[in-house]
Structure 1
């Protein structure tokens, strides 16, 4: 149960009491926060959060540049020969939650996975105005509470990936930047989670998503983990950069995570850089998923370099990789869409 002080704080924020916080980094915002985009009418009811947590089969997801736009979903589905059941997209803290985008995902037979980045429009690694200390201390409560209520109003499960790749040194929410200190990440995560719980936004699927250990300067994962009571899925981001197998990229991180949690694992970003190894790496990814317990699926980062990828990760630019991808999906028992509506086949 939340402390009385937190509940009183929520009440004050919801009534507009107190000073307005600068939630965008571009000037003052009202205490009630930005206005959510309305959800289309006539929405079909979905199942509860619990129906999605342990899928019957593997999730196939994509993160496309314009997700969840239908055109990019349809293009990925046509190339893959299967329809994605997760659509991942990104937003910073200068944006409200879009109920319209979440509903558009559902209309396409896919869970919305929102990667929620506590930063403004800048992509600088150091942004002290969005420090973890400020988040944990309540400086952004007005924005977070409004966001949580907007999510709740959809009446549908939403996958929320807050402050991903925290073990790297390339984002402002790294404990190495923005005036952050060890322990600040966990405190910020728990504070955000508790605010959602306090307003009754309990259908969120919380995804804690580190980068694979490679390239993170030996940053320990366990001190960054908020705890099983604050996390539903563990997301892992890992890409092939010339390795022959996906297992050598992903398995060391999975082994590390399993020492402190048995939560289901979703690959929340994956892909392979172009080159002669790409098709083989892609084929091995599907073998690895099939043979690794507790991995419930993957999201392929379907972006070119012009669209923000470090490399062109699109699986359909090389015919051999596209064939490996399609064959890999055929080999998996993919999760059916678990909602009570007609979904694309």
Structure 2
């Protein structure tokens, strides 16, 4: 079943096409009529924890045990703690599971059992082996497990497939699209209708790696996504520059956009708040229907690598700016309650 909606006029700068998805409305996640869902990746292992340079009061606030009915659910304490500092509940909580890892786990069940959407990021495998049927049983088991959750799920399979680091597994754009279609066929065979399929290369891949060639087609994709960190080789780079070519490409497709894993590097120091406020302007685009902040330092090579560390935890000014973004009406389409945060 195809859900169709027009992008809201006056919700942001620029024109956007009529938005369609293959997802079943009311069962799978569909775009909000106006604005964009706000979500985050909050590591369960504390990789996005407080900075060693923060003040004692900031440290106490960042590490205080979260409270509330969801805080005690499996995997939810870091999420609830982040929400309390943000001043609102998340629309989307991201989880990650490797290709052979059983899911849903505790976090996925906790998210699905509440009032948040689950963004399940599922690792990839050798695309040719997938098409050859080597993993059909595994895929079918995962499909049944997702169906059994009984709640809407964003499924982001084999993200960043355009990166050269994954070439041995992905092989080629043609191999990737064939594998994508094979997965969808198995999910359809298992009658899984609570999934919205999120196709997600890197935003950088549109400036030379031909990320668009990995696109399986409008009939195979519900949400077009990009991972959009500024990149560790820039001293400073606005989000608008990081997503520019991706957004130009996406204009040619009648799909809602998700900007996943965007984050402001700690290397930007006192300019982090400024970066986030400019990002809020960029993301208020009528085709952008979901944004997911990457509140983690796990991509950093070591503790001194601040160009790939994105957590705002313990950074008072960056947290305040992210709270401004998250509580802007555009990014709160469900009109969830807002508190002062802290």
Per the TM superposition, whether the score is higher than 0.5 is yes
Structure 1 residue 204: deviation in Å? 0.6
TM-score, with normalisation over the residues of structure 1? 0.73
Report the number of matched residues: 277
Higher relative contact order (CA 8 A, sep 6+): 2
The CA deviation string for residues 241-292 of structure 1, in whole angstroms up to 9 with x for no partner, is 4434211111221112323x221001121101112332211111111111x2
In structure 2, how many angstroms separate the alpha carbons of the residues matched to 1:337 and 1:116?
A: 29
RMSD of the alignment, in Å? 2.6
- Whether 1:273 and 2:265 are equivalent positions in the alignment is yes
Runs of 4+ off more than 6 Å: 306-310
Q: Is the 8 A contact 2:29 2:196 kept in 1?
A: no
Match of 2:318 in 1: 321
Structure 1 residue 335: deviation in Å? 2.2
In structure 1, how many angstroms separate the alpha carbons of the residues matched to 2:195 and 2:115?
A: 18
1:264 to 256, 259, 280: 256
* Structure 2, gaps ≥5 residues long: 1-24, 46-73
Match of 1:226 in 2: 216
The CA deviation string for residues 175-194 of structure 1, in whole angstroms up to 9 with x for no partner, is x3247234100000000011
TM-score, with normalisation over the residues of structure 2? 0.74
Structure 1 residue 70: deviation in Å? 1.8
Residue 158 to residue 330, structure 1, CA distance change in 2 (3 Å): closer
Structure 1 residue 167: deviation in Å? 1.2
The CA deviation string for residues 185-227 of structure 1, in whole angstroms up to 9 with x for no partner, is 000000001110011012111000010126x771213321011
User: Tell me, what secondary structure is at the counterpart of 2:228?
Assistant: strand
User: Tell me, what secondary structure is at the counterpart of 1:138?
Assistant: coil
* Structure 1, gaps ≥5 residues long: 1-46, 119-129
1:156-305 to structure 2, matched below 5 A, reads 156-171=151-166, 176-178=167-169, 180-213=171-204, 218-241=208-231, 242-259=235-252, 261-274=253-266, 275-276=268-269, 277-290=271-284, 292-305=285-298
1:58 to 7, 29, 36: 36
Match of 1:27 in 2: none
In structure 2, how many angstroms separate the alpha carbons of the residues matched to 1:296 and 1:142?
A: 34
